[in-house]
């Protein structure tokens, strides 16, 4: 009889690995376990959307002017509800909320969670994997975020985009308010931190399996949710991008006509016939960031979402898309750039700032920079 190997659960892994290296704030792992709970809830709803093939729209637009679906709002609420009781969090930045959301129960909390609750949700109608992306940052100094005033609760099931002054509740019933003063207030200087400062970052991928990948700066670890026990189980410890990596480039080539000549040159370079005996490049593009990044992490290659005419800063958001991806890549032996600067060194000016993103195998990101500089 084969002996059964005990695979650590996420909780057990965090307890043994993260507690042993407590350079980060002690209870940051509560945020990660809260995100895992939110991920479990979101995975269930995503699976149901695949089942029915319908994608209910709210008719609303998010802060970026994009049509939102009810599932975007559901994912946002699930994240807020599951993490807001972590005392270390003073506020949440979400793609779905116009302003930062201070947490009344812990105004002195030393950390900020930046999150894209459900990236790529427009793909759901055709059952393409989507994901949650998260970044945990330290706040510059305590006391900078104004606590919320009382506000009206949105009705249950209210699918409106969260607007200034709206209030949500955490699992324990604490009010969390989208703050109307915070955008221009001094608090902003506390939270606009470069990706290099991240305490932890990662993503949850809702695909054939639900996968959670995180780094706290000591390697990248991957967990798969076991549908039977409901636990996230350690699946890949200390993920390293293979070397040599897959010769994949990944970008939306439909925008070619709007590309800068340097971007043209770069892709032309990838299309050149390879030297005798060498393997040429092939293309892979899903159009769902977490899925494209997960593939890049596991097999290598280069993901690109450049700036182009009409999108001078690209499409992806620095604080809750590019920066967490960049930390994961760097910790796995790769890197990420905006074309000229390492993503992790960029100081955000705005919580929803966009950036071009080139992420993947180090040697390919270096090649991209050599064309784009």
Question: What's the closest the beta carbon of residue 98 comes to ligand AHM, in angstroms?
Answer: 15
Work out which of 315, 352, 354, 362 binds ligand AHM, going by CB under 6 A: 315
Q: Where in 173-192 is the site for ligand AHM (CB under 6 A)? A: none
| Site for ligand AHM contains 86 (CB under 6 A) | no
Window contacting ligand AHM (CB under 6 A); options: 11-19, 32-40, 116-124, 140-148:
116-124
| Site for ligand AHM contains 296 (CB under 6 A) | no
| Site for ligand AHM contains 170 (CB under 6 A) | no
Residue closer to ligand AHM, measured from CB, 50 or 147: 50
Omega cis (within 30) before 244: yes
Question: What's the closest the beta carbon of residue 43 comes to ligand AHM, in angstroms?
Answer: 17
Q: Where in 221-250 is the site for ligand AHM (CB under 6 A)? A: none
| Site for ligand AHM contains 66 (CB under 6 A) | yes
Question: What's the closest the beta carbon of residue 233 comes to ligand AHM, in angstroms?
Answer: 26
Q: How big is the site for ligand AHM, counted in residues (CB under 6 A)?
A: 11
Residue closer to ligand AHM, measured from CB, 196 or 255: 255
Question: What's the closest the beta carbon of residue 40 comes to ligand AHM, in angstroms?
Answer: 21
Burial annotation 322-359 (CB, 10 A radius, 16+ → b, else e) = bbbbbbbbbbbbbbbbbbeebbbebebeebbebbbbbb
Work out which of 288, 296, 337, 338 binds ligand AHM, going by CB under 6 A: 288
| Site for ligand AHM contains 252 (CB under 6 A) | yes
Contacts of 218 (CB under 8 A, 6+ apart): 17, 21, 331
Residue closer to Mg ion, measured from CB, 320 or 358: 320
| Site for ligand AHM contains 289 (CB under 6 A) | yes
Residue ranges in contact with Mg ion by CB under 5 A? 116, 119
Residue ranges binding ligand AHM (CB under 6 A):
66, 116, 119-121, 252, 287-289, 305, 315
């Amino acid at each position: 009889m084969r002996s059964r190997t005990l695979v650590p659960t996420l909780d057990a892994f965090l307890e043994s690995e993260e507690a042993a290296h407590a350079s980060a704030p002690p209870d940051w792992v509560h945020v990660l376990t809260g995100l895992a709970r939110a991920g479990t809830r979101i995975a269930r709803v995503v699976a149901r959307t695949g089942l029915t093939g319908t994608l209910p729209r709210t008719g609303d637009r998010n802060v970026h002017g994009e049509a939102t679906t009810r599932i975007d709002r559901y994912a946002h609420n699930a994240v807020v509800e599951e993490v807001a009781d972590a005392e270390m969090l003073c506020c949440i930045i979400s793609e779905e909320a116009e302003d930062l959301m201070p947490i009344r129960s812990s105004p002195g909390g030393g950390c900020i969670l930046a999150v894209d609750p459900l990236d790529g949700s427009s793909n759901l109608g055709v059952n393409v994997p989507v994901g949650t992306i998260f970044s945990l940052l330290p706040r510059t100094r305590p006391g900078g975020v104004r606590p919320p005033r009382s506000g009206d609760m949105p009705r249950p099931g209210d699918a409106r985009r969260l607007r200034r002054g709206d209030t949500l509740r955490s699992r324990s019933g604490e009010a969390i308010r989208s703050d109307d003063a915070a955008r221009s207030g001094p608090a902003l200087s506390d939270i606009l931190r470069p990706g290099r400062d991240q305490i932890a970052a990662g993503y949850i991928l809702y695909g054939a399996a639900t996968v959670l990948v995180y780094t706290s700066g000591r390697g990248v670890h991957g967990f798969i949710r076991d549908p039977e026990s409901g636990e996230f189980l350690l699946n890949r410890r200390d993920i390293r991008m293979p070397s040599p990596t897959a010769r994949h480039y990944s970008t939306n080539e439909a925008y070619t006509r709007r590309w800068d000549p340097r971007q043209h040159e770069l892709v032309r370079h990838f299309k050149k016939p390879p030297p005798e005996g060498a393997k040429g490049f092939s293309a892979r593009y899903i159009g769902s960031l977490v899925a494209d990044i997960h593939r890049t992490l596991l097999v290598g290659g280069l993901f690109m979402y450049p700036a182009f005419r009409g999108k001078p800063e690209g499409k992806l958001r620095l604080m809750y898309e590019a920066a967490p991806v960049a930390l994961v890549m760097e910790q796995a032996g790769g890197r990420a750039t905006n074309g000229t600067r390492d993503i992790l060194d960029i100081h955000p000016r705005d919580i929803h700032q966009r950036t071009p993103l080139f992420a993947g195998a180090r040697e390919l990101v270096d090649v991209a920079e050599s064309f784009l500089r």
